[in-house]
């Protein structure tokens, strides 16, 4: 039995949750920056990638000649395929799309889910310890 397999999705989930914490912290830090666009992580897609699947990614433009440019070809989008821009409910006049209350809610939700993942991992380790000690 491999430890990675035993921990199943929870190790990857912890990683993705950690990244999401960072992203939302970034959004909150830039709540008053003109022109800043709020970002979030596509959790389902990130987890699918962590599981080794290649998630179906949006629309593609077929390129038939050397000079053609495919959709989503920016280097940043290619390097961080799971990062998405948040659709703003009421964008500010200065171009900022951070909704502080929404981000706070997302941050709290993410923190609770992070702790849930920690609880899962803890119980996995406790199970292992019980198996090792035998009592």
Partner 1 sequence: MSSFKTFDIAGSGMSAQSVRLNTTASNLANAESVSGDPNAVYKARHPIFEAVRAQLNAAGPQTAQSGPAVRVSGIYESQAPAAARYEPGNPLANEQGYVYAPAVNVVEEMVNMISASRSYQNNVEVMNTSKDLLLATLRLGQG
Single out the segment in contact with partner 1 by CB under 8 A; choices: 51-59, 62-70, 85-93, 121-129.
121-129
Nearer to partner 1, 48 or 111 (CB): 111
- Long-range pairs, 79-83, Cβ under 8 A, ≥24: 81/45, 81/49, 81/57, 82/41, 82/42, 82/45, 82/46, 82/49, 83/23, 83/39, 83/40, 83/41, 83/42
Mark residues 16-35: x for contact with partner 1 by CB under 8 A, - for none: --xx-xxxxxx-xxxxxxxx
Please report whether residue 99 would count as binding partner 1 according to CB under 8 A.
no
Residue 61 or 118: the one with the smaller Cβ distance to partner 1 is 118
Gap between the Cα atoms of 7 and 125, Å rounded: 9
Distance between CA 116 and CA 73 in Å, rounded? Answer: 36
Q: Return the residue of 48, 92, 102, 111 that touches partner 1, per CB under 8 A.
A: 111
**CB count in 10 Å sphere of residue 117:** 20
One of 8, 71, 72, 126 touching partner 1 (CB under 8 A):
126
Residues in contact with partner 1 by CB under 8 A are 14, 18-19, 21-26, 28-36, 75-76, 79-80, 82-83, 100, 104, 107-108, 111, 114-115, 118, 121-122, 125-126
């Amino acid at each position: 039995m491999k430890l990675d397999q035993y921990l199943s999705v929870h190790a990857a989930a912890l990683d993705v949750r950690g990244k999401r914490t960072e992203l939302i912290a970034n959004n909150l830090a830039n709540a008053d920056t003109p022109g800043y666009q709020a970002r979030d992580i596509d959790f389902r897609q990130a987890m699918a990638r962590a599981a080794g699947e290649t998630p179906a990614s949006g629309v593609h433009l077929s390129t038939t000649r050397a000079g053609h440019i495919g959709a989503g070809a920016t280097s940043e989008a290619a390097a961080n395929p799971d990062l998405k821009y948040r659709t703003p409910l009421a964008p500010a006049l200065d171009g900022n799309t951070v909704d502080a209350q929404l981000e706070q809610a997302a941050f709290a939700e993410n923190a609770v889910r992070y702790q849930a993942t920690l609880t899962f991992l803890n119980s996995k380790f406790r199970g292992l310890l019980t198996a090792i000690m035998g009592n």
